[in-house]
Structure 1
Amino acid sequence: MLFGTSAASANSDSQSNTKDTLKVLYWNADDFNRTYGNLFSKKYPDTDIQVVTPTGSSAITDYNGAIQKYSPDLVLLPPYQYKEMSKDKKLTDLEPLIKRDQYNMTTVYPGLLAELKEQGGGKLYGLSPKTESYALLYNADLFKKHKVKAPSDGMTWEEILKLAKKFPTKGDKNTRIWGLSASGSSNLVMDIAKTEGLIYIDPNTLKATANTAAWKNAYRIASEATKSGVLDERITLPGKSYLESSPFIMGRSAMIVASISQLQSLQKAKNNVKNYKPFTLGMAAGPSDSKDRKSTGDVRITEIFAIPAGASNVDAAWDYIKYFNGDDYANEYYKPNTTGNNIGAPLSRMVKEYSGYKLDAYYKLKPNLDSASTSYALMNKSANFELNFRSVLFKELAQVVNGKKTLDKATAAIQSSTQADADKLAKAQKTKR
């Protein structure tokens, strides 16, 4: 694999003797500078950032090789690599640095800290500034009007879908009430699978696991919800903005599972939609994993900041990690009316509210990164696995919803197709040997 380097800020000969250098391993220098480097340089002008980045590739797959070759001070790892490198003791334990600097950890997402320690084999080898987590938002006014008990923390997908069925299902789709704003069948199955930590192929054995009781239950409840007419299936209205097209934002859907970007959209609707009628928003932690109601697998952490063992500039790397997991960055990130500042994920440094809404529900469940790690492992084996799985799901569940196939036959077909896909890769690997 070819690698190149670029610098976040230019270094003159006179500066090079006085400035510190932080070498970062990242997949794209320009993207790094836009997201992190430029902000860090403002805070630490005496530190130059040198980004070591792969050329001709959209990802780094051989982290060990890249670290060995370029000796970076800082790496930004996906969960799978974080777990593997932690296991091999190739990262620096951050807790002695936290203790040394008396770094405030009291307002860092406790569930995330616990999971990063768990993935690190009991030690904290990294921190991640953002956790793309979700909460169950609901229209408290609709619940009151239709005399339905409001959602509570830790509800599973099955319970949420049962609750959605308590709302009316009749009327014109452009004006009616919906129980839940969600995609139908196949997309809903994938949301359920992420929450429950389900895998459709074991990445180690290449055996399909798409016909387990847990998968079949996901197919069943998603198909039943689609058939029942409680899901708005993300409808869009011709000639309307995305705000006016959204039944939840416009007060015509009882619930939605959403990131904090939905809170930003609600505020935009108040300011930009003519004659907008705000409603009372409720929030609950969920959906949760039915096997552990205090956790969820439906989280996305793309980058865990870590320091390779034996890094030459540990202090500069630690300054970087401290800044992007600290209050100063949080204040910058959540700053209102910043151009292009669309918030998609809450920070791990917890804040009490955003856009006038409390964020407690986004921090109550413990994230489980096992599912994300498995997805990464499968993606590295074949980028087509998930595409093909989604394709067969869509085809088979559509037939179940339309009454053309039983759930048992659809499950068997999904399993068979998934195993055939895995077998192709296994055969190709065997041929290469």
Structure 2
Amino acid sequence: MKHNVVQKFMLVSLSVMFIGISTGISTGDQVSASSGSQADTGNTLKVLYWNSDDFNRTYGDLFRKKYPNTNIEVVAPGGMSAITDYNAAIQKYSPDLVMLPPYQYKQMSNDKKLVDLETLIQRDKYDTTTLYPGLLDELKKQGGGTLYGLSPKADSYALLYNADLFKKYNVKAPSDGMTWEEILNLAKKFPTKGDKNSRIWGLSSFGSSNLVMDIARTEGLTYIDPTTLKATANTTAWKNAYRIASEATKSGVLDEKVSLSGKSYLESSSFNMGRSAMIVASISQLQSLQAAKSGVKNYKPFTLGIAAGPADSKDRKSTGNVFITEIFAIPADASHVDAAWDFIQYFNGDDYANEYYKLPSISAPLSRTIKEYSGYKLDAFYKLKPNLDSSIAGYVLMNKSPNFELDFRSVLGKELTKVVNGKKTLDKATAAIQTQTQAVANKLTGAQTAKK
């Protein structure tokens, strides 16, 4: 189970790392070129992406159905690996469209190396009213006040809860903008006795160390300063996260997401089966609930509530627990600006949304908001403003060493286990986490110095 958790977080981290760049289409050389679709003019749209096959599966094949006369040339300098130097790749291959991770988007925006999309939006009267408003604001913030890119997907989370259990145990239902500490305090109001295969749980969540990482992302915390490589794992905010998570584990309110022997994945989920009061989850959890209704014998449905959260305790209208892996942008020197803009509009528009939500498996809601999915309202997934600062810091750390997060998780798990088992005080565990995290950073710094 711990291996699966680490794998999950590495996939999240690697998804930030394995980011390529995408496509465009048109005859317009200038931002002031005439409006209107340029996608069917027969021009070649050059796209920079990390892998051509992956690009075609995700974007190219679908776009060609919409614009069959479009020629798309995918430049994949990394082959099957991440692009390490976007500036060099753009200078060498002169793409019309790129897909950038948040860090590269921020850097290239600040260096004025991307086309200002607001000019194109105003020119074509492109409707942004149903795009995730908080995401637009954050992309503009990361762009230094100007919108240089759009992202079709925002992997956001919400607090899903079993309204029937809240009513049964006379607990006040969650509200939008609750913090992790408030959510866990709610979880403690539910029974903690009984056999694990049949009892009620307050919250579906993995153990202390993984809960700490969830809290940290929401609060925008980083365990190492990506610039100085100084450990920051002993701050008041981090210590509070350790405390909240270890107390939740000791109280017995977390189901630990244990797989039940002889049961399917759907049946092993206490939340799916109506035995857990809450879960923080993505839109994929809604698919699991629908699958349980049709795939589990004698399934008993329950009333689902969805609240926006968890929120950052410093700003209840925002959260760091939103992941953006690909921001579509147009290089400043692109030859086919209008064509690239057509591509961006399509994958941030209603036509693509209609195709996307027909897919059998959905992991993240689109930035183009819709009111409901699988019969459930989705507004809670869009209410909090995403803060990309911590994910950008995480990207920088991963580029310095892919093992940083794994090493930190290992230290975190060992020390919090001692706290939960009463073998170490929280203060001593915090000091140990800080010391060992700094040792990891020092080892990397020493290795880099030796290479020089």
Q: Which residue of 2 aligns with 1:254?
A: 277
Question: 2:421 is matched with which residue: 377, 402, 414?
Answer: 402
Which residue of 2 is the match for residue 11 of structure 1? none
State the Cα deviation string for residues 205-230 of structure 1 (Å, max 9, x = none): 01000000000000011000001000
1:292 aligned partner: 315
**Residue number among 172, 176, 183 corresponding to 1:149 in the alignment:** 172
Offset at 1:18? 6.6
Residue 12 of structure 1 aligns with which residue? none
- Cα distance, 1:47 vs structure 2: 1.1
Quote the Cα distance in structure 2 between the aligned partners of 1:425 and 1:230: 38
* Partner amino acid, structure 2, of 1:145: K
What count of residue pairs does the alignment treat as equivalent?
Answer: 417
Question: Residue 308 of structure 1 aligns to a residue in which SS?
Answer: coil
Residue equivalent to 1:87: 110
Measure how far apart 1:315 and its partner are: 1.1
Displacement of 1:239: 1.3
Paired with 1:308 and 1:165, the residues of 2 have a C-alpha distance of 51
Query: What residue is the counterpart of 2:402 in the other structure?
Result: 383
Q: Which residue of 1 aligns with 2:34?
A: none
Deviation at 1:428, TM superposition (A): 2.0
Q: What CA RMSD, in Å, does the superposition of the two structures yield over aligned residues?
A: 1.6
Structure 1 unaligned regions, length at least 5? 1-6, 9-16
In 1, Cα distance between equivalents of 2:123 and 2:52 = 31
The equivalent of 2:377 in structure 1 is 358
Asked if residue 129 in structure 1 is aligned to residue 173 in structure 2, the reply is: no
- 2:154 maps to a residue whose letter is T
**Which secondary structure does the structure 2 equivalent of 1:270 belong to?**
helix
Kindly indicate whether residue 363 of structure 2 is the aligned counterpart of residue 344 of structure 1. Answer: yes
How far the C-alpha of 1:99 sits from its partner, in A, is 1.3
Mapped to 2, the partners of 1:58 and 1:46 lie a distance apart of 30
Work out whether 1:331 is the aligned partner of 2:350: no
Q: TM (normalized to structure 1)?
A: 0.94
- Displacement of 1:429 in angstroms is 2.2
Deviation (angstroms), 1:199: 0.4
Q: CA deviation at 1:48?
A: 1.0
**2:32 — aligned with what?**
none
Paired residue for 2:439?
420
Q: C-alpha deviations, 1:63-117, integer Å up to 9, x for none?
A: 0010011010000000000001101001100011111111111100000000000
Distance (whole Å) between structure 1 residues aligned to residue 64 and residue 314 of structure 2:
44
What's the CA shift for 1:430? 2.1
Matched, 1:182 2:201: no
Distance 2:222 2:41 in 1: 51
Alignment of 1:9-408 (within 5 A): 19-335=42-358, 338=359, 341-408=360-427
Shift of 1:418: 0.6
What percentage of residue pairs aligned between the two structures are identical?
80
Once the two structures are overlaid, the 10-residue window that deviates more, 94-103 or 352-361, is: 94-103
Q: CA deviation at 1:432?
A: 2.8
Q: Which residue of 1 aligns with 2:451?
A: 432
Distance 2:69 2:342 in 1: 12
**What amino acid does structure 2 have at the position aligned with 1:346?**
P
Query: What's the CA shift for 1:57?
Result: 4.7
- Structure 2 equivalent of residue 4 of structure 1: none
Which residue of structure 1 lines up, in the alignment, with residue 30 of structure 2?
none
Kept after mapping to 1: 8 A contact 2:50/2:79: no
Partner Cα distance (2:126, 2:78) in 1: 36
1:55 Cα offset (Å): 3.8
Which AA in structure 1 matches 2:179? T
Question: How much has 1:131 moved relative to structure 2?
Answer: 0.3
Residue of structure 2 equivalent to 1:13: none
CA distance in 2, matches of 1:67, 1:418: 36
Summarize the Cα distance change of 1:56–1:96 in structure 2 as closer, same or farther, 3 Å threshold: closer
SS of alignment partner, residue 407 of structure 2: helix
In structure 2, distance between residues paired with 1:356 and 1:18: 40
2: CA distance between counterparts of 1:373 and 1:414?
22
Deviation of 1:243 (Å):
0.7
For 1:42 and 1:182, the matched residues in 2 are separated by: 41
SS at match of 2:47: strand
Instruction: Name the aligned partner's letter for residue 67 of structure 2.
Output: Y
What residue ranges of structure 2 are gaps of 5+ in the alignment?
A: 1-22, 25-39
The SS at the match of 1:75 is strand
How far 1:20 sits from its partner (Å)?
1.1
Contact 2:160 2:278 in 1 (8 A): yes
For the residue of structure 2 that corresponds to 1:23, the secondary structure is strand
TM-score w.r.t. length of structure 2: 0.90
Partner SS for 1:49: strand
Of 238-247 and 347-356, deviating more is 238-247
- 1:56 Cα deviation from its structure 2 partner: 4.9
Task: Give distance in 2, aligned partners of 1:263 and 1:303.
Answer: 24
Shift of 1:54: 2.4
Residue of structure 1 in register with 2:6 after alignment: none
